[in-house]
Amino acid sequence: MMLSQRVRTIEPSATLGLNAIIQKLRADGRDIVNFSVGEPDFDTPEFIRAAGIAAIEGGQTRYTPVPGTPDLRRAVAEFVGAERGVEVAPEEVVICSGAKQALTEAFLALCDPGDEVLLPAPYWVSYPDEIRLAEATPVVVTPPEESRFRITPEHLEPHVTPRTAGLIINSPSNPTGILYDAEEIAALVDFAEAHDLWIISDEIYERFVFSGSLASPFSGKGRERTILISGLSKSFACTGWRLGWAVGDPSIIGGMSRLQGHTASNACTISQYAALAAVREPRHPDLDAMIEAFAERREVALKRLGEIEGLDTVNPEGAFYLYVDFRRFLASGEATTSFCESLLDEKGVATVPGEAFGTPGWVRLSYARSIEEIERGISLIADHLKVR
Ligand code: PMP
Ligand code: GLU
């Protein structure tokens, strides 16, 4: 018996796969500095946990409406609208089991088999497979070296075909930390308008903005063609609660809800109650303290990496990743994957190779770690490079 073509063409998640290897190494007693998975190391704040516990104890343990409880849809609409300076209606919101499910449903709702989706590289690991699940084709566009991975309409233009259905924007970006400013976003919106494309705007790192401010295609005239994706995982330190959302035109949200009605029913009811508390207080002191800690870690990580000669890092304006060019240290023909494996084997430092993001030669470091670990990990990397 054979698995479907659909499943045979998708790869396991590189980031989650690596995380599983690290858990195993740790269980075997190895001391690992884990710069691999992108997950806040902070516990979910008390006020969000308490809302989850109250939901269980108050008997909120049954199905909810497929797109989420009316209260949560309203609260997410208010939260998303307030952060971006627009009015959002609850009918424009669907609550999903994480941003991953929201993205997958969006591609399934927007793409017909054979459609194409423009995907700027480096890209987050799961986009190509989520697009392929919808039997569409990810069209990877890597900006030329001198543009430092900042995508513009000029880079995208030659890749547009009659089958192009959408464009992915992920700002702040995983893996580069790039944050597009309002002007860059406006240019991408004009491009999408000229070719009548959907914009899938993944804004899951919305609170991790360290220089400049968040600009969203949902704020201005791009709004009608934008499906905004975000959730609790990063900005609220809630990865395990599996709670995300999509915001966009009610017809798309309705289509995604129909899909969800047959796949997940609704996102976990308890998590929805926790989310209600979270989005009603997005500037809770516990959350602000987490963002401040990340700002400090970013400074330390950048300074320490800057001390290693020969490494070049994309300026990380947001998210919590450093995307670093290791090409000067790779032997001719050496895959970045094997370099990262040797770093893990010999020095116990876990990183994600650029192959996972479509740009070999580069390595992603997640600095969602304590300052002590960041300093130790980067000095182990420096030691490893000395013998190269
Ligand atoms: N988008 C990006 C860019 C991410 O880095 C992640 C990481 N998990 C997700 C989406 C998925 O988030 P979630 O945990 O809400 O499924
Ligand atoms: N998004 C995070 C990462 O890129 C978590 C793992 C995943 O969901 O892929 O590491």
pLDDT of 136 higher than 90:
yes
Domain of residue 357, residue span: 5-43+285-386
Of the three residues 280, 311, 329, the one that is the final residue of a domain is: 280
How many separate domains does the chain show? 2
- Give me ligand 1 centre to Cα 248, in Å: 18
Q: Are 166 and 25 contained in the same domain? A: no
Q: Are 141 and 151 in contact (CB under 8 A)?
A: yes
Looking at the fold, whether 322 and 255 belong to one and the same domain comes out as: no
244 lines ligand 1 (CB under 6 A): yes
pLDDT digits (tens, 9 = 90+) for 222-268: 999 999 999 999 999 999 999 999 999 999 999 999 999 999 999 99
Q: How far is the CA of 100 from the centre of ligand 1 (A)?
A: 6
Domain containing residue 336: CATH number: 3.90.1150.10
Ligand 1 pocket, 99 CB below 6 A? yes
The string of pLDDT tens digits covering residues 325-365 is 999 999 999 999 999 999 999 999 999 999 999 999 999 99
Judge if 68 and 103 occupy the same domain: yes
Q: What is the pLDDT of residue 17?
A: 83
Nearest alpha carbon, ligand 2 atom 9: 15
Domain boundary among the residues 280, 314, 339 is at 280
* pLDDT greater than 90 at residue 108: yes
Tell how far the Cα of 162 is from the centroid of ligand 2, in angstroms.
Answer: 32
| 146 & 215 share domain | yes
Please indicate whether residue 357, judged by its CB atom, sits closer than 6 Å to ligand 1: no
**Statement to judge: residues 108 and 245 lie in one domain:** yes
Largest CA distance in the chain: 62
- Amino acid 387: pLDDT: 78
Q: Are residues 67 and 107 in the same domain?
A: yes
Band (298; pLDDT cuts 50, 70, 90): very high
pLDDT of the residue at 194: 98
CATH number at residue 172: 3.40.640.10
Beta pairing, strands 198-202 & 226-231: parallel
In this prediction, residue 14 has a pLDDT band, given cuts at 50, 70 and 90, of confident
Write the pLDDT tens digit of every residue in 162-192: 999 999 999 999 999 999 999 999 999 999 9
Is there a single domain that holds both residue 111 and residue 247? yes
Establish whether residue 164 lines the binding site of ligand 1, counting it when its CB lies within 6 angstroms of any ligand atom.
Answer: no
Specify the pLDDT at position 60: 98
> How high is the pLDDT of residue 332?
92
pLDDT mean over 210-231: 96
Mean pLDDT, residues 8-35 taken together: 89
- Per-residue model confidence (pLDDT) at position 20: 86
Q: pTM here? A: 0.97
pLDDT band of 381, cuts 50, 70, 90: very high
Q: How far is the CA of 352 from the centre of ligand 1 (A)?
A: 16
Give residue 235's pLDDT. 97
13 lines ligand 1 (CB under 6 A): no
Which amino acid, one-letter code, is at 366? S
**pLDDT, tens digit, 9 for 90 and up, residues 71-94:** 999 999 999 999 999 999 999 999
Do 123 and 38 share a structural domain?
no
Whether residues 58 and 13 share a domain: the answer is no
Question: How many angstroms separate the alpha carbon of residue 121 from the centre of ligand 1?
Answer: 16
Closest ligand 2 atom number to CA of residue 126: 9
Q: What pLDDT is stored for residue 19 in this prediction? A: 85
User: Among 44, 129, 233, 239, which residue has the most ligand 1 atoms within 8 Å of its CB, making it the best to mutate?
Assistant: 233
Same domain, 176 and 319: no
**Do 69 and 36 belong together in one domain?**
no
